[in-house]
Structure formats: structure tokens, C-alpha cells
Structure 1
């Protein structure tokens, strides 16, 4: 058996340095994970959003996002959505509807949600004026909300379109509803 030299004990200065390093790492991790607020922007927005029917009938334009907790695009878009909500609070309603919540099944069918994130855009009278499919940048969200607030046409962006009541049936027929793709299906 080979004897190895004894390991010297850490001195008081080294212990203090390790303690300081551990405290800095803990503080950095806390900051990186959002501070002492365990909720991410997506959860905060969803928790504080108005009921959809209230939002559509209160005289303010409404931006509805169909999302899922597991959706990376939805999560990455959430800070910008939160900024829009804070900036336009009292002028524009931001409503989040989780596609995994069976409570919103009728809305998923009504608005033909088959991918997320999907934004439904409504004027101040609750009339659907457009739809945006896919992740949106902060600038795009701001442009969409500005158009809603000013009553102007929606900006020309990829994946954004006007909606029309012509030929649309707001209530899907039972046979069609059974064959509709689920927003949670990936194939």
C-alpha cells in the first residue's frame, strides 16, 4: 500500500473564498431563474388575464393568445407579451388560453386552433379582425397592438392575416369537429 502525503487543511482565507464563490453562484442562479418570483411571464399573464367573454364585451380591443406551458415559442414570446399588456393596460386586453385546458375546447374549435402560438385579434366591439400564427417578435407584437388600438389595418407580417365573416361558420358542425386536428397533435 502506497502512502500518499496528507492533504493540507483549508485555511480560513480559502474557506472564506469558497463561501464567497458559493454565495455568488447562488445569487447568479437566483437572478438567472427570475429572482424570487417563481412565476414566469407566461404564467403571470395567464393568471391575470380577463375571461374571454368579458374582454370581448368591455369596449377595448383584445389580443388572445392560444398557448401551452410546454411550448418554447410561447415561453420565448411571453416577456414581450407582458410588456404589451403592461404598456397598454386599460386600453387593450391580453387574454391567454391554454390549449391543454379542456375548459377552452369550444374556443379551440371556434377559432380553428391547430398550432401554437396562435393570436386572435379583436377590435373594440369584439369583432375578429385578424389572426397571427407562429411566434412573434416584440416589434411585431407592438405593431399588432398599435394597429388594434388605432383601428388601423393589421401590419403586413408573415403569418398574419385579416379575417372575414364571409362564408365562415362560427360553430363547427359535429362531423367536422370530430375530424379537426388537435393543437396538441404533431403529426
Structure 2
């Protein structure tokens, strides 16, 4: 991730935020933007299109806001319930890089992760099988939540090498990340 100060949120970078339902919109920069989602501070004119789209769409989902990014002739819009920025079929490490996910997720026992995710009102869940993202679920969307109990309670064949990567925003714009491996009920 390129974080050269001259490129971060420079004078030609504009990010408009309209929380849902969009009654009003505000252009945000610097510290105020970072308090929403710290990853947004690292977007700039040279951010690769895939990364820009993935971060904006993920941030829009996590914030429950419509985002419009404008910089150097580029304009990218993201809404909380769009399917844009999906990372299905992408290798996990590339998906983590595109989402600008820092550090290592905190490992969790499957039961603890399942209880936590069932209670999250927002967040992103990446279901990873054989090293590639199979599903990307928006935990604020009821339709995306429908298969969640299947992934958590029934799981997949233990030999299928499935992992769950979940992340959400804390107040102040910092990400919390968890990692777990689902398994079938009754399996050790």
C-alpha cells in the first residue's frame, strides 16, 4: 500500500459520503475520513483500480454509506448493498491486499467465531476454500446473512480446507479481523 504523504487525500482527491438513507452528503478529508475507515486515507491517484474498487465497496458496506471517490479524472461510486468490488474467485492473499487488510487476523475457535458473527450487525465475511475466496458476504445485508448459519453450523467437509475471514470497523476507523475454520456439528 502506497502511503506517500503527498498522495494521501491531496487537493485533487475528493470523497463524498452519504450515510443511508441518503438525506445529506458531505465531502470528507484527512482525520475525519480516517475516523470512518482508516483505509480510505491511503487511496490516491495511483491506487490500482481493483484495490480502489474493493476498498470503496467494502467500506461502503461496513459504513452503511454511499461513497463517491474522485481523483485525477477517475470517479468510483460504491453503495452499501451493491455487488461491486466482489473478490469471489480471487486468491486469499490477493483479496487481503486488495482490501488493504493490515496485519494478521485474530484466530478464533469455530464456536466462538460463529457466536460472534451471528451477533455482528455489520461486517464482511470471506469464505475461503482451497486458498480462493468462494463467497464474500455483507453481514449488514439480510440476504447475505441467509447462508451464514450453514457456513457456521453445518460447515463443509472437514477435508475441504475452508477458512472464514471476518472483519468489521471499530469506532475510530480501525479494523477488527478474525479467522476461523468451520466444521460439521458433531465432528471434533
TM-score range, shorter chain: under 0.3
TM-score normalised per structure 2? 0.27
Hey, which of these two has a bigger chunk of strand by percent?
A: 2
Larger radius of gyration: 1
Hey, which of these two has a bigger chunk of helix by percent?
A: 1
